Structure 1
Amino acid sequence: MRSAPNTFPTKKDAERWLVVVESQMVRGEWTDPQRAAIPLGAYADKWITERPALRPRTVELYRWLLTKHIEPRLGEVKIGDLTTAIVREWRASLLASGVSESITAKSYRLVRAVLNTAVQEDGIISRNPCRVRGADRENPAERPVLTVPQVFQLADAMPHKRLRVMILVAAFATLRWGEVSALRRADIAADGSSIRISVAHTEVKGRGIVVGPPKSRAGVRTIAIPPAIRPEIVKHLMTYVGPAPDALVFTGPKGGALRRAHFNNLTKWPVVVRKLGVPGLHFHDLRHTGNLFAAQTGASTRDLMARMGHDDMRAALIYQRATSEADQRIADRLSALVEDRKIDNDDQDDDEDGAAGALGPVG
């Protein structure tokens, strides 16, 4: 038995309410108000715990977002009481308090995912209140892109020569930090022609480096290496990598696995990239650069997805769109050169006509 949420002025009003509820039951749209009384914070915490397939870094991010940006304002609100207006106000308060657009969007997407489960799987509520247009978009600033010569300049600038090829592989094989830092000798063909990605390193607070699967299902892949850099990879394997199949390909000076912060200190990364003329360049921008290189070859969306290790075609389309826009800019500039030539020719014709008029009739 369930009670109505309130009393009614008349019996007729009560009967009308009952008809509406019975109609919702018939259509399968009715939800038990007692089940929807669970606070969002408690439900979200349980939601994260019950997803063992999440990567450790993802779990760490979700719990930080929940603790820092969701629970303080929405944690005690009952799921059944959440409305789009409440969600919109919460998002606006985050932005007004100085939280970045990127973190706000991540927080919103987490709440939306949690409430999607409440609707679709648990049947706690009938409709997801996360319906704020554009709230899930981050619109990050465009990242810097290197030219091919700059990639080699950056590689040559590495203070430790054992890390030179790491720069080349990250760029020309479009690898994530966790993928390139986890490479073993067995993952690379003896002639340097291909690299197999099957695991990735993830740094988890309190646990150190965790070996796990790549970021996505499509992340398990084999990547063909450009012939021009294969000799460099082979030389690196011979010089710096142990003979065991599981020997790490890229390590610190003492042979241990590389951590992101350790790598930045070891290579004096901020100083090096500033001298290169790209201050603020991140290691991940090497992958971004490599993706653009690949897109500029005219590869199909499906082939780009496979090389990049993406399940979703949206990322591949972004790089294809970027290269098509660059191509259009080239076409526009070529057109301007043609127009300039026409103007020069017209001016020359005018000069010749004027000279002929000054000479007067001939004969």
Structure 2
Amino acid sequence: MATGKRAFGRVRKLPSGRWQARYPAPDGLDRPAPSTFRTKKEATDWLADKQTEVRSGAWIDPDAGKIPFGAYAAAWVKQRRLQETTRELYETLLRLHLVPTFGLVPIADVTPAGVRMWRADRLETAGAPTVAKAYALMRAVMNTALEDQLITRNPCRIKGGSVVDTPERPTATVPEVFQLAEAIQPRFRLLVLLASFLGLRWGELIALRGQDIDLDAGTVRVRAAVAELRSGKRVTKPPKSRAGVRTVAIPEVILPALRLHMGIFAESGRDGRVFIGAKGATPRRNHFNRLWHKACGEVGIKDLHFHDLRHTGNTLTASTGASTKELMARFGHSTTRAALIYQHATEERQRTIADALNAQIIEGMKRGSGRNGHAAGTPGE
């Protein structure tokens, strides 16, 4: 004969007239619902849903999510093997953009609405790229919280929240590249040419050593990059991905400038630095930027960043007919792990690309001047 006793949990009416539900949790505790219910049916329905969670293995300890977001995120960063520059970025994003809003909030209490409100507020006071990076970091932290069974669903659900549409940067023409190379200090002339026609990044250029330059084969090997931390400390690190380690063929037209630089300005020996300052120190970006802006002013070029020279190299190389895989191999681009495994370019094709690029550079020099009418210089002079 039925007794009317519930098989899972129990409900009772409180003096206030509302109903309370309690259930036996998998951790052995008798746990109450987080809030009371208006009717007995609402309470029993909640118990039925909770029973389904327990039976399916989807139950999550409600106390586990009480850890503050700030403490959990700090531990998340500490537990990961990160490059110093990445760790510094994450710590800055937490300190300036996430902890002020979510630092003391229990991780289980962070809601999609709260994340949307935070992002909208941040976009009014910080740059969109920074907000996108902070959102991406928060989403990664919350994904780990989901794996740790602290939450049942990631509250970071803004479609495209970590994506920023940035305006296309300008490119320098071939004559402008040589004008800038002539206007900059002679010891940095090759720096401008390699950034433009090989697409090397600042950190990759500064990290180059004598053993990375093969004058006979006409190639540059990229093995590392120098990064500056906010403290001013410099670290030499491997490229961000396997695609970043590469050997790049040099257009023949700039080989004289390379030989001249290696003979006059570079340190001797296999481990000698290719680029050094006038006093023998490794160049710093802020000091070079002053020289760069001065050179741009002398030739009448505005709003051109040094990194834009890499875009110039990408544009010129793409126009040679190089395939997407060859472009990725030459410039160290990567998208997915599969792309890094399969996207290889042969040395023969690299030379073909360099030769075609060489012809374009010569043609560009012949066509004449840049924006202010100055004649293009001749490499190696």
* TM-score normalised according to structure 2 size: 0.76
Letter in 1 for 2:188: L
2:251 paired residue number: 226
Aligned residues: 308
Matched, 1:102 2:129: yes
1:9 Cα shift?
A: 5.3
Deviation of the 1:226 alpha carbon = 1.3
Task: Give me the whole-angstrom Cα distance separating, in 2, the residues matched to 1:293 and 1:29.
Answer: 55
1:157 corresponds to which residue? Answer: 183
| Corresponding position of 2:331 | 308
Which structure 2 residue ranges, 5 or more long, are not aligned? 1-28, 340-381
CA contact (8 A) 1:274 1:280 kept: no
In structure 1, the partner of 2:26 is: none
Rounded Cα–Cα distance in structure 2 between residues aligned with 1:301 and 1:46: 40
| Mapped partners of 1:26, 1:176: distance in 2 | 55
CA distance in 1, matches of 2:133, 2:193: 32
Partner Cα separation in structure 1 for residue 209 and residue 321 of structure 2: 31
Residue among 75, 94, 97 paired with 2:103 = 75
Q: How does 1:90-129 map to 2 (within 5 A)?
A: 90-96=118-124, 98-119=125-146, 121-129=147-155
1:146 to 153, 157, 172: 172
Match of 2:160 among 134, 143, 147: 134
1:33 aligns with 2:62: yes
In structure 2, distance between residues paired with 1:145 and 1:207: 30
1:281 to 304, 307, 311: 304
The residue aligned with 1:19 is: 48
- Structure 1 residue 290 and structure 2 residue 318: aligned? no
CA contact (8 A) 1:38 1:78 kept: yes
The verdict on how the C-alpha distance between 1:230 and 1:26 changes in structure 2, with shifts beyond 3 A counting, is farther
1:150/1:21 Cα in 2 relative to 1: closer, same or farther (>3 Å)? same
**Does the 8 A contact of 1:40 with 1:75 survive in 2?**
yes
- Post-superposition offset of 1:10: 5.9
Provide Cα deviations, 1:81-130, integer angstroms capped at 9, x if missing partner. Answer: 1121111100111123x2122211111111111112222x3222221111
* TM superposition shift of 1:30: 2.9
Whole-angstrom CA distance in 2 between matches of 1:27 and 1:295: 54
Are 1:205 and 2:234 counterparts? no
1:178/1:11 CA distance change after superposition, 3 Å: same
Residue 264 of structure 1: aligned partner? 289
Return 233-242 or 85-94, whichever deviates more.
233-242
Partners of 2:172 and 2:312 within 8 A in 1: yes
Counterpart secondary structure, 2:159: coil
- Counterpart CA distance in 1 for 2:267 and 2:298 is 33
TM-score (norm 1): 0.79
Aligned residue for 2:214, secondary structure, equals coil
**Kept after mapping to 2: 8 A contact 1:186/1:245:** yes
